């Protein structure tokens, strides 16, 4: 696809049937082409931490970046722009003109299923970080889609929930990051949230789309719905929703043509929606991506190097008593934990993709040690049993499973194979698996061979959206067909995981076969879920262990080690699209493992992986800990680089870590109740709340240590009518080179209403050699530094008052303070 066309001329030439067709997707990932007028189809792809391409099922492998909170933890605008540029290159390799990301919803609770996708609990950090990503993506002529606008902050009943909140909270917390992205990067696209706001779904909400986004902010791009997040014809079109996704249409087409013909949608409104689609097609033509381009895996050394750098820069050094870290590469090392030999490199749902590769922490650490480490799992962490594709073989000896699709049910005479594939992953999300030669109801046989490594009981698990049975050596082990129980797998469309235990003998090979029926065979009541696609199946398995015996074994090994690394945390089972976490607990017996091992070996380091906070009842007994999020392809290498000091950690928490879930400001209102979710904490999200009510956190917002030390001094605050300039001297007072994040908070001294004690308004990351000092400058527009939302005037207000500037390296540790004065109260709207 090359060149541009005259949009206004095309609008005159298009008939209303064609115009209606342009305003909905053709399928999951493409817009509708109009061949008569040479209007091409353009492609889009998830997502927030990489570019999957057009397939959930058996897709082309891709670069996976650290999750959103990991990207936010870098506090590094320049690095995030480079990350965005790499995302743009990845998009081109997948033939995609549009990236569906970044995600910048606010983490009002640690329990959000998609919290890991977003950058921060703070709107300024989220907005400025996302703007950098968008600028990087759009440097490559790829369109970025900022999402989900707005208040898509939970997964529980997300399509129907009514988010009830004040205009002040809406503007100061939830809209502000989007406002900053528009101001600083002008993203090509916005994606609407699934939910309602104060009674009306966002995708048909004129206040949100017409008045705020297009009116006040003057933004002129394309608005698309989230997938099946369009709920009306006339209402959505009139409010400003340009593109219904995914296709084929449910609400446009003939329905829209009828709405125009009877005046429910005026012709000029239809033309405006079409104009936005055509302008986007024109815009992305600069990327020179052919229509329906082939997808390729652009796995290069340069990509690996940048992903490794971003991964290491995202890791937060949480604790380092007695300078346990960095570790020695020469000492006798024990590696423990469920996340050691498992690469937790992304969260679940839209953020998931098939990576080029994924380095486990065990492999990354082992590669830097001079001698072989000891290992035992210590405890399990899975919600569903681990996928087993990598330990299975096909009938031809290849790693993985064979997949054979049929139109006829198992046992039918003369079954004919419609499709045959070899797959290495035993989670098959077939929502976008479409073949014209398959009926609506179809079947698949999924087969592999498992050779036992030891005598043990081995537990298998089977979850499905559709129906499935698991046979071992032709004997039925798990029936997830006859009777089904609703669960949270597959965006909450699927069953719970049904399990069966098999006694296996070392060296013996077992034939596994799953008989799968596509989505329409499901026996589940869909409830209020949006159901989509052809179905899904997940096959897992693990050795049955005694939790107590395994912890004792780990502790005995720890006594004999010079240093212990426990790789703990969550994974995509626990944090993923479609369901929120029920609590902040670590799964299984992980807390007991950490307590037992740290009690016998003081040189124990915990590597924690999660996208959002977890409770840590053992934290006082552990001397060293890093938080590594979900780190993308280079997860294990990035962790090892920090543990051994190849990289001096410089990341800072983009989220407050409360001591317990009950301390969180949204604790009493983080669910849909009778169709509504009350944002009862108002503007007091995250650190704004903890500071206001004086509740101590486990780790505060902005926290992050280094292997060196820094001082911040010589604060100078200056102001003119438009801009506030803060300068400080930062000195590396330690022994090694490193980076410090200077955080600038603003506090109004005598506000006319209650305001947070302080709010982040700017930041800058500075790299310094040992003994070096530099002057750091942070510039903030005065109106953004001082204003709150005046609900009486329906405007931002910057009050006449004295304001305090608080500069530190965390929200809890302020190193220097200054003041400035606003001489006159003023109100403003827009950017």
- Place 529 in a pLDDT band, splitting at 50, 70 and 90: low
Region 32-55 average pLDDT: 95
Instruction: Output b/e per residue, 2-22; b: 16+ Cβ within 10 A.
Output: eeeeeeeebeeebeeebbbbb
pLDDT score of 539 more than 90: yes
Q: Output the CA–CA distances (angstroms, integers) from residue 646 to 72, 113, 149, in the order listed.
A: 22, 33, 40
pLDDT for the residue numbered 491: 82
Q: Is residue 104 within 8 Å of 126, Cβ to Cβ?
A: yes
Kindly report the average pLDDT of the chain as a whole number.
96
CATH superfamily of 710-828: Immunoglobulins (2.60.40.10)
Which residues neighbour 710 within 8 Å (Cβ) at sequence distance 6 or greater?
730, 731, 732, 733, 734, 738, 740, 768, 809
pLDDT for the residue numbered 560: 96
- Residue (of 632, 669, 433) closest to 532 by Cα position: 433
Region 472-481 average pLDDT: 97
Q: Is residue 723 within 8 Å of 635, Cβ to Cβ?
A: no
Q: Output the CA–CA distances (angstroms, integers) from residue 53 to 46, 60, 93, 100, in the order listed.
A: 7, 7, 9, 11
Q: What is the distance between the terminal CA atoms of the chain, rounded to a whole angstrom? A: 34
pLDDT score of 2 more than 60: no
For the beta sheet containing 498-504, the strands, ordered from the edge strand earlier in sequence to the opposite edge, are 427-429, 536-543, 456-465, 498-504
pLDDT for the residue numbered 3: 59
C-alpha 306/C-alpha 81 separation (Å) is 12
- Catalytic site positions: 226
Taking the whole predicted model, whether its pTM rises above 0.85 is answered as: yes
pLDDT score of 544 more than 90: yes
- Place 530 in a pLDDT band, splitting at 50, 70 and 90: low
DSSP H helices in 152-226: 167-169, 176-185, 206
The domain 383-543: what is its CATH number?
2.60.120.260
- Place 239 in a pLDDT band, splitting at 50, 70 and 90: very high
Residue-wise pLDDT for 369-418, tens only, equals: 999 999 999 999 999 999 999 999 999 999 999 999 999 999 999 899 99
Thinking of the domain 361-379+547-699, which architecture would CATH place it in? 3-Layer(aba) Sandwich (3.40)
Instruction: Output b/e per residue, 799-816; b: 16+ Cβ within 10 A.
Output: beeebbbbbbbbbbebbb
**Where in the chain are the domains?**
361-379+547-699, 383-543, 710-828
Residue-wise pLDDT for 164-201, tens only, equals: 999 999 999 999 999 999 999 999 999 999 999 999 99
pLDDT for the residue numbered 47: 85
- Place 528 in a pLDDT band, splitting at 50, 70 and 90: low
pLDDT for the residue numbered 57: 87
pLDDT score of 280 more than 50: yes
- Place 614 in a pLDDT band, splitting at 50, 70 and 90: very high
**Rounded percentage of the chain residues whose pLDDT exceeds 70:** 99
Residue-wise pLDDT for 421-449, tens only, equals: 999 999 999 988 888 999 999 999 999 99
Region 569-586 average pLDDT: 94
């Amino acid at each position: 696809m090359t060149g541009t066309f005259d949009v206004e001329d095309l609008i005159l030439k298009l008939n209303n049937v064609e115009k209606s067709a342009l305003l909905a997707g053709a399928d999951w990932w493409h817009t509708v082409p109009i061949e008569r007028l040479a209007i091409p189809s353009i492609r889009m792809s998830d997502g927030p931490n990489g570019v999957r391409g057009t397939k959930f099922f058996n897709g082309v492998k891709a670069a996976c970046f650290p999750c959103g909170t990991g990207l936010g933890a870098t506090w590094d605008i320049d690095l995030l722009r480079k990350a965005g540029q790499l995302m743009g290159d990845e998009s081109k390799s997948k033939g995609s003109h549009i990236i569906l990301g970044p995600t910048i919803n606010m983490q009002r609770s640690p329990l959000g299923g998609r919290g890991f996708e977003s950058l921060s609990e703070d709107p300024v950090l989220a907005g400025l970080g996302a703007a950098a990503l968008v600028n990087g993506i759009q440097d490559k002529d790829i369109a970025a889609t900022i999402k989900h606008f707005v208040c898509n902050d939970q997964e529980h009943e997300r399509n129907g929930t009514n988010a009830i909140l004040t205009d002040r909270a809406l503007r100061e917390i939830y809209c502000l990051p989007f406002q900053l992205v528009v101001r600083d990067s002008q993203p090509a696209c916005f994606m609407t949230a699934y939910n309602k706001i104060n009674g009306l779904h966002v995708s048909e909400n004129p206040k949100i789309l017409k008045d705020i986004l297009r009116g006040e902010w003057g933004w002129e791009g394309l608005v698309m719905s989230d997938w099946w997040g369009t709920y009306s014809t006339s209402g959505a079109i009139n409010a400003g929703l340009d593109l219904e996704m995914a296709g084929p249409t449910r609400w446009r087409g003939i329905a829209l043509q009828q709405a125009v013909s009877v005046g429910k949608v005026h012709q000029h409104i239809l033309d405006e929606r079409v104009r936005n689609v055509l302008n986007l097609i024109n815009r992305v033509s600069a990327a020179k991506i052919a229509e329906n381009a082939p997808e390729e895996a652009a796995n290069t050394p340069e990509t690996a190097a940048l992903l490794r750098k971003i991964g290491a820069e995202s890791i937060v050094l949480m604790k380092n008593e007695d300078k346990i870290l960095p570790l020695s590469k020469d000492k006798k090392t024990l590696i423990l934990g469920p996340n050691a030999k498992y690469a937790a490199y992304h969260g679940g749902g839209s953020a998931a993709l098939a990576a080029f590769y994924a380095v486990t922490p065990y492999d990354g650490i082992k590669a830097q040690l001079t001698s072989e480490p000891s290992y035992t799992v210590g405890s399990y962490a899975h919600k569903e049993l681990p996928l087993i594709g990598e330990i299975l073989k096909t009938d031809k000896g290849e790693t993985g499973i064979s997949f054979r699709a049929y139109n006829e049910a198992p046992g039918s005479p003369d079954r004919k194979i419609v499709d045959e594939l070899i797959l290495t992953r035993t989670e098959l999300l077939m929502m976008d698996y479409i073949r014209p030669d398959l009926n609506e109801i179809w079947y698949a046989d999924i087969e592999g061979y498992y050779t036992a490594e030891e005598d043990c009981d081995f537990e298998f698990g089977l979850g499905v959206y559709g129906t499935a049975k698991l046979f071992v050596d032709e004997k039925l082990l798990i029936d997830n067909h006859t009777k089904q129980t609703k669960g949270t797998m597959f965006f909450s469309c699927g069953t719970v995981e049904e399990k069966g235990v098999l006694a296996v003998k070392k060296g013996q090979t077992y034939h596994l076969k799953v008989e799968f029926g596509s989505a329409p065979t499901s026996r589940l009541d869909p409830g209020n879920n949006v159901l989509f696609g052809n179905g899904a199946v997940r096959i897992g398995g693990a050795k049955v262990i005694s939790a107590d015996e395994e912890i004792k074994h780990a502790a005995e090994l720890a006594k004999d080690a010079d240093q212990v690394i426990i790789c703990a945390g969550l994974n995509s089972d626990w944090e993923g699209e479609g369901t929120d976490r029920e609590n902040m607990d670590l799964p299984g017996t992980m807390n007991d493992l950490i307590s037992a091992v740290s009690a016998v070996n003081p040189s124990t380091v915990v590597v924690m992986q999660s996208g959002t906070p977890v409770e840590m009842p053992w934290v006082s007994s552990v001397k060293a800990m890093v938080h590594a999020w979900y780190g993308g392809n280079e997860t294990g290498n990035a962790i090892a680089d920090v543990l051994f000091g190849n990289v001096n950690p410089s990341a800072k928490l983009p989220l407050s870590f409360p001591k317990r879930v009950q301390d969180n400001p949204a604790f009493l209102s983080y669910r849909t109740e009778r169709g509504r979710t009350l944002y009862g904490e108002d503007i007091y999200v995250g650190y704004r709340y903890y500071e206001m009510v004086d509740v101590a956190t486990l780790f505060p917002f902005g926290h992050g240590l280094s292997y060196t030390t820094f001082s911040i001094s010589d604060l100078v605050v200056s102001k003119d009518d438009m801009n506030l300039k803060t300068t400080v001297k930062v000195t590396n007072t330690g022994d090694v080179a490193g980076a410090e994040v200077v955080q600038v908070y603003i506090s109004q001294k005598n506000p006319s209403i209650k305001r947070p004690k302080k709010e982040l308004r700017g930041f800058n990351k500075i790299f310094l050699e040992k003994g070096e000092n530099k002057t750091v400058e942070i510039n903030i527009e005065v109106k953004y530094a001082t204003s709150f939302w005046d609900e009486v005037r329906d405007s931002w207000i910057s009050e006449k008052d004295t304001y305090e500037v608080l500069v530190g390296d965390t929200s809890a540790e302020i190193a220097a303070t200054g003041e400035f004065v606003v001489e006159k109260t003023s109100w403003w709207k827009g950017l």
